[in-house]
Amino acid sequence: MSIQPERTPADLVGAATGTAFEFTFDGRTLTALPGQSIAAALWSAGILAWRTTRVGGRPRGAFCGIGQCYDCLATVNGRPNRRACLVTARPGDAVTTQEGHGHAGLDT
């Protein structure tokens, strides 16, 4: 009987870890890995909520993780309503908590 060595999920998809880079969340410097979504990077930093609901101001973060529920909306580089589970983190990104509909103080 042949025993195969243990393989990780990263091995199965052929993922390779690159050099971590920095981005900011509400002014706090965090790190992410190449290809990592903003939601995954926030989770890695222990941040579970980055949006408040329009009614009641309740905290929200990633729920479905596939871009269907819109609970993970964040403001990324000044653009509101970005689904953090679908947006790949990039070096220097400025991510901020989204309050309500995300358009407060914007001209558009």
Q: For the chain, which residues make up each domain, given as ranges? A: 21-99
Residue 9: DSSP 8-state: H
Q: In this structure, which CATH number among 3.90.1150.10, 3.10.20.440, 3.40.1160.10, 3.40.309.10 belongs to the domain 21-99?
A: 3.10.20.440
pLDDT tens digits in sequence order for the chain, 108 residues long? 566 667 776 676 666 678 999 999 999 999 999 999 999 999 999 999 998 888 888 888 888 888 888 889 999 999 999 999 999 999 999 999 998 666 555 444
Distance of CA 38 to CAs 14, 19, 52, 80, Å?
Answer: 21, 16, 17, 14
In this prediction the pTM is: 0.77
